[in-house]
Structure 1
Amino acid sequence: MNILFAASEAVPVAKTGGLADVAGSLPKALGPLGADVRVIMPFYGEITSCQKEQFRLIGSFNIRLGWREQYCGLLEAVIDGIHYYVIDNEFYFKRGYLYGYEDEAERFVFFCVAVMESLSYLNFKPDIIHCHDWQTGLIPFLLRTRYRDDPAWEGVRSLFTIHNLKYQGVFSQDVLRDLLGIGPEFFTPEGLEFFGGGSCMKAALLYADKLTTVSNTYAQEIQGRAYGEKLDGVLRKRATDLSGIINGIDAISFDPMQDPEIAFPYRDSLAKKRLNKLALQRELGLPESEETPVLGLVSRLVEQKGLDLLEAIMEPLLSDRLQLVVLGTGETRYEDMLRAAMEKHPLNIAAHFGFDDGLARRIYAGSDMYLMPSQFEPCGLSQLIALQYRSVPIVRETGGLKDTVRPFNEVTGEGNGFCFSRYDAGDLLDTIRRAVTLYENQELWNQITGNAAKEDYSWNRSARSYMRLYRELASQRRERG
């Protein structure tokens, strides 16, 4: 079975978030199950020169967007055993960052059309094109409209994965009509129209053959008003085509026994894990103590991640006997909040602003508990990495957090973390304090981390779920063909 992943980012080529982890690691898990999975993405300026040297040009052509005609180069490389194709256009992609530009509509309409045109130049015919998030949302639309009679795309089925429904690629109808060369008949309430604009996400929800999102709970949540981001009606209509498949992690990369970034390799030894805690405390200038519980947080510093709850409890939290270690970047108000907390409580909190993969891994290895009090969380990868490193998650029960973290029950001994359900600062503080209390009971803490050790956080189970879905789509192709 041949699968083409279309994504705006994928590790190890380019990354800003969890989407890149999925697009880069899921293909590796699908290969042993009988799938030839290849990835197509933009050729960004921030890709390292070492990686750029691995790509070779396999085709070039021009693409017309409205009145513009733009060059498109198609390059190929095999990295970590996976075929990567990249779309090259320096005007759109040779920039300082992956996202956040005023011409975002034009950049990713170009990318979607370039993907469609590229198939004629590939020595690869997919059975299924698997599209990820709004940046690729127009591909299912193009497949069912402009390219429906293109021999290169004959019989290809589409799957679209929602990684975060909040980000939808909504632009002016006039801009999208001009770029796509389509008429107003497509911009009706039953079509691409979205509160006066046009939505790339909605295009995918309407035109893809099947839809997935990244956890079972999130698949249910987004069909209601609270989490549906004004697309819940569309999702309810497509409920029979929507499934939730939880993400996994690259268990080879995130293996504390093999991780070169941490000082003391370990797997289930809490004694060695605490040596990593001492090393982390030393690195960040905190008092070194095996007994002091360390709470880790590696995240974008934005409201979605529950930073407002943390802000509300910062004073009582740091008055307790614990340490808080934070790595991330985001909204100025939260960075300023953390700086003020460090100034007032230098022995209890250390925050580093930016992205540092090595430090992130040392926080997973050195923290006793890991904090994710999210407003919503489609899946979340951090709690899975934390569990892999035996850092016990403290989470709000939403989306993938609810599906992967089970509250510890002192009576039955079941559970791998601590959970609260209401989005409430007091409930968060109470949950943290319960975790700290149980941390002081070595026998119970060993039981919690032992429960985490029994589970598989890799892509193995989820990859099998994707393969079942691919086979279902492929069988529909044969029936229609």
Structure 2
Amino acid sequence: MSVDTKKRVLIVANELSPYLEFSEFAQILNQLAIKTFEAGIEVRVIMPRFGVINERRHKLHEVVRLSGINIIIDKDDYPLIIKVASLPNARLQVYFMDNDDYFKRKLVFRDENDEFFEDNADRMVFFCKSALETVKKFGWPPNLIHCHGWMTSLVPLFLKTAYKKEPVFGFTKTLYTAQADQFKEKLSDQFVRKALISNEIKEKDLEIFKDRTNTALTLGGAKYADVVVMGDRKMPAKITDEVKPSRSKKVLAFDPAWVEDVTSLLDLYKSLTDS
């Protein structure tokens, strides 16, 4: 029986150039994905199909063979539509998680009056669960999952609880990008309940998320990830004070050189997929 020696990296992000950019890390991720592919590592990207992403311009189309997954959030079923596009100037695919209730609107996180969407918590849980269910459907075991952006901060927790017995994630490490706060509001007070997607998750596991702030999400993602990368030049003191390197966790400070050259991040990917 042949042994599968392929190295695989999955990037789960709520921003990626050229589709959507909230920070300069969107471009860094673009170049990192391309360079990783060129280094001979299989790469796939998963992100939300926000309504502001132009399907015609970016040549998105539905992946019918992957459709038919229903994502259950707090006992309600939401159909998952999976769309795909090829990253421009690269031979790698970006998969977009779509659902009419959550992503059809032509806005990202705020309405026309600049009010934070009440269902952003639900959208986040839907996206994180959708990403992992899609990987299961692929049957594509990633060595590394790089979670970027506050919308992905539940993924490291889910992998260590609800999905810990899934063979496809049996050898997966997680890397989380911590960023400066991108919103000042709190997620809805139903967030913790809706994040309990499995009996494998206990309320105490979500204790770090309980404040429902952007900072709380970042601290939660960082707690459950194996490696943390600081994704902004200036990070809030609460993040830098609480997210420290240890024997079980590696933490990298932001390097401005990444904007022009992602070699050190690629080396990190290589080390994490080799170990």
**3-state SS of 1:473 partner:** helix
Q: Which of 77, 85, 94 lines up with 1:77 in the alignment? A: 85
Query: Structure 1's 198 and 162: CA in aligned 2 closer, same or farther, altered over 3 A?
Result: closer
TM-score (norm 1): 0.48
Q: Which of 164, 177, 186 lines up with 2:180 in the alignment? A: 164
Aligned to 1:146: 162
Written as runs of structure 1 = structure 2, the 5 A alignment for 1:5-84 is 5-51=11-57, 53-57=59-63, 58-60=65-67, 61-80=69-88, 81=90, 82-84=92-94
Distance in 2, Cα, partners of 1:157 & 1:48: 32
**3-state SS of 1:131 partner:** strand
Distance in 2, Cα, partners of 1:7 & 1:35: 18
Aligned to 2:251: 242
Give 1 or 2 for the bigger CA radius of gyration. Answer: 1
Displacement, 1:114?
0.4
Is contact 2:83–2:95 with CA below 8 Å preserved after alignment? yes
Distance in 1, Cα, partners of 2:137 & 2:37: 23
Aligned to 1:474: 273
Query: Structure 1's 232 and 167: CA in aligned 2 closer, same or farther, altered over 3 A?
Result: farther
TM-score (norm 2): 0.80
**3-state SS of 2:243 partner:** helix
Distance in 1, Cα, partners of 2:17 & 2:214: 32
Query: Structure 1's 167 and 196: CA in aligned 2 closer, same or farther, altered over 3 A?
Result: closer
* The structure with more helix, counted as a fraction of residues: 1
Query: Structure 1's 26 and 469: CA in aligned 2 closer, same or farther, altered over 3 A?
Result: closer
Displacement, 1:55?
2.2
Distance in 2, Cα, partners of 1:30 & 1:63: 30
Matched, 1:186 2:210: no
**3-state SS of 1:70 partner:** strand
Written as runs of structure 1 = structure 2, the 5 A alignment for 1:20-419 is 20-51=26-57, 53-57=59-63, 58-60=65-67, 61-80=69-88, 81=90, 82-100=92-110, 101-122=117-138, 124-165=140-181, 167=183, 170-172=186-188, 174-181=190-197, 182-188=201-207, 191-194=208-211, 199-214=216-231, 218=233, 222=235, 227-228=236-237, 230-236=238-244, 238=246, 241-246=250-255
**3-state SS of 2:10 partner:** strand
Displacement, 1:92?
0.5
Displacement, 1:247?
5.1
Cα-to-partner distance string for 1:429-481 (whole Å, 9 max, x where unaligned): xxxxxxxxxxxxxxxxxxxxxxxxxxxxx32xx3x2123322332344xxxxx
Name the Cα RMSD after superposition: 2.9
Counterpart code for 1:102: E
Displacement, 1:139?
0.4
**3-state SS of 2:244 partner:** helix
Cα-to-partner distance string for 1:361-415 (whole Å, 9 max, x where unaligned): xxxxxxxxxxxxxxxxxxxx6xxxxxxxxxxxxxxxxxxxxxxxxxxxxxxxxxx
Counterpart code for 1:88: D
Distance in 2, Cα, partners of 1:77 & 1:39: 10
**3-state SS of 1:125 partner:** coil
Aligned to 2:4: none
Unaligned runs of 5+ in 2: 1-6, 111-116
**3-state SS of 1:171 partner:** coil
Distance in 1, Cα, partners of 2:14 & 2:255: 20
Is contact 1:63–1:72 with CA below 8 Å preserved after alignment? yes
Aligned to 2:113: none
Query: Structure 1's 76 and 111: CA in aligned 2 closer, same or farther, altered over 3 A?
Result: same
Distance in 2, Cα, partners of 1:168 & 1:205: 19
Question: After the TM superposition, which parts of structure 1 deviate over 4 Å for at least 4 consecutive aligned residues?
Answer: 165-170, 195-198, 237-240
Instruction: Count the aligned residue pairs.
Output: 255
Query: Structure 1's 23 and 471: CA in aligned 2 closer, same or farther, altered over 3 A?
Result: closer
Unaligned runs of 5+ in 1: 250-380, 382-457, 477-481
Displacement, 1:246?
2.4
**3-state SS of 1:4 partner:** strand
Displacement, 1:124?
3.5
Displacement, 1:203?
1.6
**3-state SS of 1:236 partner:** coil
Distance in 1, Cα, partners of 2:27 & 2:58: 19
